[in-house]
Amino acid sequence: MLSIGKNAVRELIDSDKKINKLYVLKGAHDLDKIIEGARAKGARIEFCDKRVMDKLAGELRHQGVIAESRDFVYSTLEDLLNIAKSRGEKAFIVILDGIEDPHNLGSILRVAECAGVHGVVIPSRRSADVNETVMRISAGAANHMAVAKVGNINDAIRKLKEEFVNVVCADMGGESIYDVDFDSDVAIVIGSEGFGVKELTAKLCDRTVAIPQRGKVNSLNASVACGIVCYEVVRQRYAK
């Protein structure tokens, strides 16, 4: 797994993950602290010319630094619940029903980490995986966010409901998010970019909520919608 760019590498250094190697562009400036931090974690430092760095980064902007670590390690659904319990907090989970764009997944992981979400659930099929693009778009937040990959989203929802987690579907036609009490163990289901939450998945949820909209465009980007709902949870729990 490559963490590409200054922000992604800084967050990797600040995480509990091991860094195998740090690639640094020859002649690059303002990277002393990053190099020092990587060395402190036992990373080998390799200074490379621009051609090598560009090849490693592919279509992503490397900003003169790329870190190599082991592949992303996925969590289990139980891990997410245990994270909440270990912090003494009510569960706060985001379930993604088929987010296939890695840019959206990266943005959602960044929002989730900032909002204090305990973990994100993705399906093993028809979903973006946590890769270099996701790591870059998340600005390294993926290094701090537990992501559970499950075989079946509906089974995950059933399991959460057995654990008394309220599962809320974010979709058109629901009640306003501002009229719903989120101050409990909660999991928010966000649908795919083109099709929203699947019908059976929505039926399994305890309730459906919608974001009030006043404009002419009747839909929001999945990551934007996720951010709005997550921060309504934050507002209700902590802005008191």
Q: What is the CATH number of the domain that holds 125?
A: 3.40.1280.10
Of 240, 224, 228, 234, the residue nearest 101 (C-alpha)? 224
Of 16, 41, 69, the one marking the end of a domain is 69
Give the global pTM: 0.82
- Same domain? For 39 and 86 the reply is no
- Domain limit, last residue, from 69, 100, 122: 69
Do both 15 and 101 map to the same domain? no
What is the strand order of the sheet 92-97 is part of?
Answer: 147-150, 119-123, 92-97, 186-191, 166-176, 207-210
> What does the block give as tokens for 47?
């200074």
Same domain, 62 and 81: no
Q: Are residues 61 and 82 in the same domain?
A: no
Interval 95-122: pLDDT, tens = 999 899 999 999 999 999 999 999 999 9
Tally the domains of the chain: 2
Same domain, 47 and 117: no
Same domain assignment for residues 95 and 171: yes
- Are residues 59 and 127 part of one domain? no
Q: 150 forms bridges with which residues in the sheet?
A: 123
Q: Is 168 helix (H, G, I), strand (E, B) or coil?
A: strand
How does pLDDT run across 51-93, given as a tens digit for each residue? Answer: 999 998 888 889 999 999 887 889 999 999 999 999 999 999 9
**For position 28, which CATH number holds?**
3.30.1330.30
Buried b (16+ CB within 10 A) or exposed e, 61-80: ebbbbbbbbeebeebebeeb
Average pLDDT, the chain: 91
Q: Is there a single domain that holds both residue 88 and residue 157?
A: yes
For residue 100, what are the contacts with CB-CB under 8 A and spacing of at least 6?
126, 127, 128, 192, 193
User: What CA–CA distance (Å, rounded) separates 212 from 26?
Assistant: 51
Cα dihedral across residues 168, 95, 200, 155: positive or negative: negative
Q: Give per-residue pLDDT as tens, 26-59.
A: 988 889 999 999 999 889 999 999 999 999 888 8
CB 173 within 8 A of CB 145: no
Domain of 59, in residue numbers: 2-69
